C-alpha cells in the first residue's frame, strides 16, 4: 500500500476536530500533526497520538507534511495560508477564505506564483447528491431553472467569541449557500436583496443577528432564496431545492436525523480530492478566486441587510 498523504491541521477546535473525525477512515489521507496554541486543547490532541505544536511555524519547521488544513478563526485564514504557501506546502483552508475578497485574491496570486495548491473547503461540492444534481442541471434534465431555495439553520448559535471573529451571518454561514448556488447553476449574480432578522439574543455577540434571508437574481434569469438561521433545536438542517420547467429536486443535505454523517463523508472526499490536486490533478473544489467572489457577494448581502460586519 502506498503511503498516505500527510496533513497538518492548523486549529484543533470545533471544525478541526470534525476534520479529524472525518479522516479516521481514509485510506488515502491522514492527519499527523496539529498547530494549536490553546494548551488544554493541545493536551487532548496529544492524547490522540498527534504531534501537537504551539505555532504554525514550529509545525512547518518539523517538516514531513504534504499539505495543511486551516481550521483556525476566519480572520486569520489568509495570513496563515500565506505563511504555509511561502513554506511551499499545499493548503486546504476552511471557509470563508478570510473576510476580505481583496486579501483572498492576493493569496490566490501568491499560490499561483509559487505553484502551490490552494483550495477552499466548501464541502457541499463533495456531497454526492449535489454533484449528481449539478450534472442533471448542466445536462438540461430539469429544463430551464426558475428558482433555487438553499437553507442552512444550525441547531444552536456558536459562542460569541467565535461570532466576533466570523464576519457576521452572511460571511460566516451564507457563503456556503452562495457558493452552492453559483456552482449548481453556473450563473453569475446580477442583483441581491437581503433582510436580517432581529438582533441576536446573545448580548456578547456584538451586532450579529440570529437569522437572515436573501433573494438573489442570477444572470440567466433564475432567482435564489438563501435562508439562514442559528436556532433549529434538535440538530442542524441544510436543504437545497431546485425548480425547473421540466423537473424539480429537493435534497436534504443534513438533517437532525442524519446528524453529521453526510458532512463527515464529504469532508473525507474533499481531503482526498485535495491530496490528488496537491499532486497535480485539476481542482474539484472551490478555488481561492471563486471564494473571493463568494465573499464579495456575502458582503453585498451584509450591506443590503444594513448589518455591520463584526470587527475581527
Pick the stretch among 33-41, 102-110, 211-219, 223-231 that binds ligand NAD (CB under 6 A): 33-41
| Residue 190 vs residues 10, 193, 203, 221, 300: alpha-carbon distances, Å | 36, 11, 35, 9, 11
Does 266 contact ligand NAD by CB under 6 A? Answer: no
Site for ligand NAD in 144-183 (CB under 6 A): 162, 172
Q: Binding to ligand NAD by residue 226, rule CB under 6 A?
A: no
SS3 content of the chain, % helix, strand, coil (to 5): 40, 25, 35
Count of residues that interact with ligand NAD, criterion CB under 6 A: 24
Q: Which residues pair with 192 in a beta bridge?
A: 216
Q: Is 10 helix (H, G, I), strand (E, B) or coil?
A: strand
Q: Helix/strand/coil (H, E, C) string of 16-76?
A: HHHHHHHHCCCCCEEEEEEECCCHHHHHHHHCCCCEEECCHHHHHHHCCCCEEEECCCHHH
**41 touching ligand NAD, by CB under 6 A:** yes
The residue length of the chain stands at 312
Q: Grid coordinates 499545499 are at which residue?
A: 90
Q: Is 38 among the residues that bind ligand NAD (CB under 6 A)?
A: yes
Compute the distance between CA of residue 121 and CA of residue 68 in angstroms, rounded to an integer: 12
- Residues 95-134 vs ligand NAD: string with x where CB under 6 A? x-------------------------x-x-----------
Q: Kindly state the smallest distance separating residue 263's Cβ from ligand NAD, in Å.
A: 7
Residue 139, helix vs strand vs coil: coil
Instruction: Please identify which residue in 5, 7, 8, 12 interacts with ligand NAD, judged by CB under 6 A.
Output: 12
- Binding piece for ligand NAD, criterion CB under 6 A, among 13-21, 192-200, 226-234, 295-303: 13-21
| Residue 189 touches ligand NAD, criterion: CB under 6 A | no
Please tell me whether residue 140 adopts helix, strand or coil conformation.
coil
d(CA 264, CA 157): 20
72 near ligand NAD (CB under 6 A)? yes
Q: Which is nearer to ligand NAD, 35 or 148 (CB)?
A: 35
227 binds ligand NAD (CB under 6 A): no
Instruction: Decide: is 13 part of the binding site for ligand NAD (CB under 6 A).
Output: yes
Q: In the complex, which residues of this chain contact ligand NAD (CB under 6 A)? A: 10-16, 35-38, 41, 56, 71-74, 76, 94-95, 121, 123, 162, 172
Amino acid at each position: 500500500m502506498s503511503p498516505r498523504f500527510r496533513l497538518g491541521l492548523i486549529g484543533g477546535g470545533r471544525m478541526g476536530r470534525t476534520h479529524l473525525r472525518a479522516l479516521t477512515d481514509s485510506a488515502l489521507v491522514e492527519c499527523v500533526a496539529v498547530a494549536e496554541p490553546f494548551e488544554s486543547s493541545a493536551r487532548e490532541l496529544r492524547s490522540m497520538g498527534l504531534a501537537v505544536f504551539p505555532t504554525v511555524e514550529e509545525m512547518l519547521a518539523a517538516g514531513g507534511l504534504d499539505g495543511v488544513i486551516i481550521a483556525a478563526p476566519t480572520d486569520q485564514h489568509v495570513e496563515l495560508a500565506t505563511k504555509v504557501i511561502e513554506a511551499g506546502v499545499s493548503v486546504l483552508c476552511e471557509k470563508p477564505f478570510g473576510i476580505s475578497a481583496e486579501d483572498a485574491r492576493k493569496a490566490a496570486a501568491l499560490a499561483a506564483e509559487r505553484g502551490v495548491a490552494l483550495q477552499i473547503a466548501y464541502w457541499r461540492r463533495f456531497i454526492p447528491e449535489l454533484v449528481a444534481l449539478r450534472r442533471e442541471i448542466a445536462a438540461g434534465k430539469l429544463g430551464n431553472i426558475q428558482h433555487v431555495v438553499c437553507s442552512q439553520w444550525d441547531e444552536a448559535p456558536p459562542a460569541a467569541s467565535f461570532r466576533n471573529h466570523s464576519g457576521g451571518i452572511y460571511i460566516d454561514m451564507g457563503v456556503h449557500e452562495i457558493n452552492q448556488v453559483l456552482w449548481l447553476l453556473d450563473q453569475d449574480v446580477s442583483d441581491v436583496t437581503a433582510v436580517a432578522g432581529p438582533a441576536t439574543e446573545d448580548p456578547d455577540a456584538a451586532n450579529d443577528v440570529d437569522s437572515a434571508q436573501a433573494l438573489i437574481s442570477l444572470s440567466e434569469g433564475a432567482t435564489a432564496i438563501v435562508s439562514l438561521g442559528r436556532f433549529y433545536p434538535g440538530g442542524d438542517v441544510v436543504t437545497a431545492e431546485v425548480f425547473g420547467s421540466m423537473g424539480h429536486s429537493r435534497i436534504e443535505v443534513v438533517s437532525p436525523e442524519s446528524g453529521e454523517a453526510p458532512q463527515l463523508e464529504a469532508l473525507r472526499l474533499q481531503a482526498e480530492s485535495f491530496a490528488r490536486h496537491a499532486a497535480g490533478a485539476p481542482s474539484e473544489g472551490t478555488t481561492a478566486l471563486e471564494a473571493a467572489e463568494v465573499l464579495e457577494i456575502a458582503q453585498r448581502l451584509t450591506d443590503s441587510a444594513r448589518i455591520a460586519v463584526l470587527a475581527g
